[in-house]
Structure 1
Amino acid sequence: MEFTDVLKARHMVRTYLPDPVDEEALRRIVKVIHRAPSAGFSQGHRLIVITDPGLRGRIADLYEPVYARNGFPGWVSRTPVFIALCVREESYHERYQRPDKLNEDGTEIDWPVPYWWFDSGGLLMLLQLAAADEGLATGFFGPHVAGLRELLELPDDLGLAGMVTLGYAPENDGVRRELFRQRRIPLDELVAWRR
């Protein structure tokens, strides 16, 4: 698939077919973790791929009541694959305490931005593009529901950026794409040029 086609295919969905996702395709998708940005090559990303129906059901039990209260139909329970997008902040500190990254006075940099979270957004986009290249659709939900960390049995040193949902979308996933195109903010309002 051409890159422009992959970009066009990348969009968030909340409707999935029940079809299972091929494990080899999943392996190709998560392999992008090696290409994801990480400040100073800290490599603090961590992924947990969840295909187990029981665990997926328990995750849906946490989230679907929240969506129902806000008027959304249940969709988490119909997701064939979840990928927990995690980050290990300490990997960044360990890397920036090495001699080639220390300040002149021998101290670690003052982090102007928590790049571990910033870089997780880059990994999210790579996962979405890799999934689109495999003919799969993705979605995302945040870690805002109590009990998710415990359910995933995350160690204390991992932060959870959120959950990528992954599967095959139906031909018409219920999203009116034309409406989104009409509501797009013009490029000149989003991009400033300094020439």
Structure 2
Amino acid sequence: MELREAVLRRRMVRRFDPDVAVDREVVRDLVGLAVRAPSAGFSQGWDFVALLDPADRAAFWAAADDGRAPTAWRAGVSAAPALVLCLSDPAAYLDRYAEPDKGWTDRSVERWPVPYWDTDTAMAAMVLLLGAQDAGLGALFFGVPAERHDAVRAAHGIPGGHRIVGVVALGTEAGRVSGSARTRRRRGLGEVLHEGRFGASP
């Protein structure tokens, strides 16, 4: 599939067929593509935890449970046969930028008005989503409730310094579910592209 086609066809899938597995080698290949994403200073401060066994996925969903009543979204997404936790490691960036060619030896997070550890990990997740589209898989990027991050880290042995940027669910789409893109229009190019200064149309 050509890149343009993958971008135009990619969509978030919210209902998965639990009976169609995702091969481990496919997940390895997708993460192999993801780590080709750019990272500031080539810091590569990302890690990915693949949950392919049912017990591991059950542990994730139990840890991520915020106590709210079950929803159709949860039922559809929790059926995904593969989850990939996308983690960022701020320390990798602080260490990298303290090296002689960068020289920020104070390792201050104040030098980072944008947390590039999260930005770069999100770009890697986008590559993973496009790779899934190219591989003929359905995929969804979603977040973990803020109050459940520690529980998810504990459930999967994730070091405390690592941040959970999001999770990619992978599998075969079981049925199309209307999402926000069905009820909200896509902003036009004339609304989002500015030339020279904000508000100036090209």
TM-score range relative to shorter protein: 0.7 to 0.9
Q: Distance in 2 between matches of 1:94 and 1:141?
A: 29
Give me the TM-score of the superposition, normalised by structure 2: 0.83
Q: Distance in 2 between matches of 1:67 and 1:2?
A: 41
1:64–1:76 Cα contact (<8 Å) kept: no
Give me the TM-score of the superposition, normalised by structure 1: 0.86
1:179 equivalent in structure 2: 182
1:60–1:76 Cα contact (<8 Å) kept: no
Match of 2:155 among 147, 151, 156: 151
Give the 3-state SS of the residue equivalent to 2:78 in structure 1. helix
2:37–2:127 Cα contact (<8 Å) kept: yes
Equivalent position amino acid for 1:17 in 2 = D
Q: Distance in 2 between matches of 1:166 and 1:175?
A: 18
1:102–1:108 Cα contact (<8 Å) kept: no
Q: Cα distance 1:151–1:176, how it changes in 2: closer, same or farther (>3 A)?
A: closer
Q: Distance in 2 between matches of 1:111 and 1:54?
A: 38
Equivalent position amino acid for 2:6 in 1 = V
Give the 3-state SS of the residue equivalent to 1:166 in structure 2. strand
Q: Distance in 2 between matches of 1:17 and 1:151?
A: 25
1:86–1:158 Cα contact (<8 Å) kept: yes
Deviates more, 1:143-152 or 1:34-43: 143-152
1:79–1:166 Cα contact (<8 Å) kept: yes
Count of residue correspondences: 191
User: Structure 2: where are the runs of 5+ without partners?
Assistant: 197-201
Q: Displacement of 1:75 after TM fit?
A: 2.2
Q: Cα distance 1:92–1:135, how it changes in 2: closer, same or farther (>3 A)?
A: same
Match of 1:189 among 188, 191, 196: 191
Q: Distance in 1 between matches of 2:11 and 2:160?
A: 32
2:4 equivalent in structure 1: 4
Q: Distance in 1 between matches of 2:155 and 2:102?
A: 36
Q: Displacement of 1:108 after TM fit?
A: 5.0
Q: Distance in 2 between matches of 1:155 and 1:78?
A: 27
Q: Displacement of 1:56 after TM fit?
A: 0.8
User: Structure 1: where are the runs of 5+ without partners?
Assistant: none
Equivalent position amino acid for 1:91 in 2 = A
Q: Distance in 2 between matches of 1:156 and 1:63?
A: 16
2:199 equivalent in structure 1: none
Q: Cα distance 1:107–1:149, how it changes in 2: closer, same or farther (>3 A)?
A: closer
- Determine if the alignment matches structure 1 residue 123 to structure 2 residue 127: no
Q: Cα distance 1:102–1:148, how it changes in 2: closer, same or farther (>3 A)?
A: same
Q: Cα distance 1:56–1:73, how it changes in 2: closer, same or farther (>3 A)?
A: closer
Q: Percent identity?
A: 32
2:88–2:164 Cα contact (<8 Å) kept: yes
Q: Displacement of 1:40 after TM fit?
A: 0.4
